[in-house]
Amino acid sequence: MKDSRGNAATANKNIVTQTNGPASVVEERLQAALDSDDLGIWDHDLRENTFWASPNIIRMVGIPEGGPASTRLFWEFVHPDDRDGVRQVVRGALAAAVSGHFEVTFRAHRRDLGRLALVRCSAQLVFDQDNRPARMLGVFRDVSDQQEEQVKLFYEAHYDELTGLANQKLLTEQTQSVLDQERPAGCLLLELDGFQEVSDTLGQEAGNRLLQLTAARLTRLLPEGALLSRTTGEEFAVMLPDQDQARPLIQLAEAVHGALLETFMIKDRPVAISGHVGIAFAAPQGCARTLLSDAHLALADAKAAGYGASRVYQPALRKALRARQDMSADLRTAVLGEQFELYYQPQVRLSDGKIVGAEALLRWHHPRRGLLAPGEFLPLLKGSPMARILGDWVIRQACAKGALLHRQGRPLCMAVNLFSAQFKLGGLARMVADTLRETGLPGEGLEIEITERVIINSDNRLKNTLNDLRSLGCQLAFDDFGTGYASLSMLKEFPITRLKVDKSFVDAIHESGEDHAVVQAMIQLAETFGFSITAEGIETEQQAEVLRQLGCREGQGYLFGKPMPWQELYALL
């Protein structure tokens, strides 16, 4: 290879500036380096704009035999997406002109091997006597093999294998980078609704395919610069740099909801899903983790709002979270410290007002807030590990009071509400059997109320448990029947003994033809199946009279008595 002046290009003259050994030894060492398959040496004369390259670089770049080595061929060697970055490094070194050393790694197409390679360039500026850059002397090394494992580890740590999207780690890192650059950022957090049902019915492979199709559909919606990631199983997040206004993200959320409405085809079957969206923002110099936490709070608020909802984070959500956390800690103390008490609401025979049963209802004697009704703590308690412990305590307390009345010859059916955790964790029938035996209460003296939500989300274990409870003689009441999605087939499938008419049908039964017809149909349905029926929420004599005329035999409500401590109920008996 000759340079632009026609002189033979030699390596040792331009590269070696110092040596401690004979020239032959230096040349041998240099030749060994030049013969290395993954190493190439180059020398660029900045004043003459000439370029010398070692044989390995000639092979790497694909310079035609006998052709000139030039900077143009070098830039063609660098991958197009990496050229601007490499140019910035070189320009920065020339502009600084202090140490004169720089390193840069880039992708390049090795024409000799016909593959994309990762190349590391290490270069040194050589200055003239006026201390101006005169030459750039450098080394190319193919580090593809060395970097392959690191690249693989980086990918596994930062990307979701299933969808190819960024994962939460990369999302957090890039969001923090934006905020550290004193730029704001917005976050949209999407959780799919219906994904688990697809996986359960069509299999995990179908669920995975649904996630991939969702990722592709979301990608098409996003503006330039947005980062889409899959953060958890059915959760996706979008980070939008330089965004601090709610309206654009609300509009994007609406577009996301619209995209999800379009049916997916999985295994030649149409699949319909929806989603909930939480939106949050972070100011410059903010914290990426706080931004994601805010988005999760907004998402939880959207899920509580119902189908296909979107919510923007408000500081009140975090305040409410702290309150729930405090309440959760208090709950544990309350359960272990016996701060709970059972109140009892009478259930009466409508024909003569005789008390025939009582529903046991939880009350919490909070040390700071006083007596708390169930609505203030049950939503939190249902998801607490304390639910099973407290639920079993309710059964034991109610059975003990029922057994006391039974021994006195005044039998009263004690109704209790159970938590879903008591069914899911197993052993409920055995626990009830032990309690009945220990207290001496006959099985028919205990009525267990279950809601349609428990039944709808059930499996064969629930049915088996209910059958076991019926075999003990316990009564089984279907609470709030007709207010949700329960089907009539459930009345055949489960061993129900009583239907409870919800208060919402009783409130206007004396003036609403629709409510009157619904309750009448429920009473006829109960008679057909041989169920008992109880109307809840009776507050006026007018309501009670209509129910009597329709054939409803039992009821409960403020007309007959509010929930009261045991001593007050006992006095009424």
Cα 536 to Cα 555: distance, rounded to the nearest angstrom:
6
CB-count exposure of residue 449 (10 Å: 0-12, 13-18, 19+): buried
- Enter the DSSP assignment of 230: E
Q: The tokens 């965004």 sit on which residue? A: 243
SS3 for 563?
Answer: coil
Cα 171 to Cα 190: distance, rounded to the nearest angstrom:
14
Residue 215 Cα distances to 240, 252, 355, angstroms: 16, 15, 60
Closest CA to 170 of 221, 190, 178: 178
Spatial contact of 189 and 171, defined as CB atoms under 8 Å apart: no
> Of these residues, 536, 539, 545, 554, which one is catalytic?
536
Q: Tell me the two tokens of residue 69.
A: 């080595």
> What does DSSP say about strands 310-312 and 564-565: parallel, antiparallel, or unpaired?
unpaired
Closest CA to 417 of 329, 504, 355, 476: 476
Cα 329 to Cα 340: distance, rounded to the nearest angstrom:
15
Q: Tell me the two tokens of residue 274.
A: 């929806």
Cα 320 to Cα 311: distance, rounded to the nearest angstrom:
15
The neighbouring-strand residues paired with 397 are: none
Q: Within 10 Å of residue 542's Cβ, how many Cβ atoms?
A: 13
Name, in order, each residue with C-beta under 8 angstroms of 523's C-beta and a sequence gap of 6 or more: 533, 550, 551, 552
Spatial contact of 544 and 523, defined as CB atoms under 8 Å apart: no
Q: Angle formed by the axes of helices 204-221 and 246-261, to 10°?
A: 140
Name, in order, each residue with C-beta under 8 angstroms of 208's C-beta and a sequence gap of 6 or more: 162
Cα 278 to Cα 332: distance, rounded to the nearest angstrom:
30
Phi and psi at residue 538, to the nearest 5° = -75, 120
Verify whether residue 536 is a known catalytic residue. yes
**Total residues belonging to the chain:** 573
- Enter the DSSP assignment of 370: E
Phi-psi region of 530 (alpha: psi -120 to 50; beta: other; left: phi over 0): left
Cα 568 to Cα 573: distance, rounded to the nearest angstrom:
9
User: Known catalytic residues?
Assistant: 536
